[in-house]
Structure 1
Amino acid sequence: MAKRFKIGDHVGWNSEAGRVSGTIIAVHTSDFDYKGHTHRASEADPQYEIRSDKTDHVAAHKGSALHLV
């Protein structure tokens, strides 16, 4: 099981543009629509919305893609 994160945690992940870091702004534990796509999430496998430190872009990722910074 992936590590659990909470709102306010500072995390990093790899993107097409390289390493990115940001702050978790939402935790989803059920399926949700994001940018026109349905993202699958559950209590056992939540997804996180993260606001990038550099661009303010918001991304959605599973916990397995994230690490604490």
Structure 2
Amino acid sequence: MTEDFRKGDAVSWKSHAGEAHGHVVKKITKPVTIKGNKMAASKDNPEFLVKTDSGKRAAHKPSALKKQS
């Protein structure tokens, strides 16, 4: 079972530079293209748009995110 995240939740995830921190911008439930990458999101397979503390945006599957307190 994956955790359900909400807009504004503080999260962290593993990145090529170590661990990144930021917050959830929105839940994506339909296919979209972000920074040239196609995201095959759906209601049954959602992804989350996150914004890093430095302002960069990316989409991640719920299993890649960890909620911060």
TM-score (normalizing by structure 1): 0.90
Q: What residue in structure 2 maps to residue 49 of structure 1?
A: 49
Shift of 1:40: 0.9
Instruction: Please tell me whether the aligned partners of residues 31 and 39 of structure 1 are also in contact (alpha carbons under 8 angstroms).
Output: yes
In the TM superposition, structure 1's runs of 4+ consecutive aligned residues that sit over 6 Å from their partners are none
Give per-residue Cα distances to partners, 1:4-51, cap 9 Å, x unaligned: 111111111000000111011121011111111210111122111111
CA-atom RMSD in angstroms: 1.0
SS in 1 for 2:63: helix
Instruction: Please tell me whether the aligned partners of residues 45 and 63 of structure 1 are also in contact (alpha carbons under 8 angstroms).
Output: no
Q: What residue in structure 2 maps to residue 62 of structure 1?
A: 61
| Equivalent residue pairs, number | 68
TM-score (normalizing by structure 2): 0.90
Q: Percent identity?
A: 35
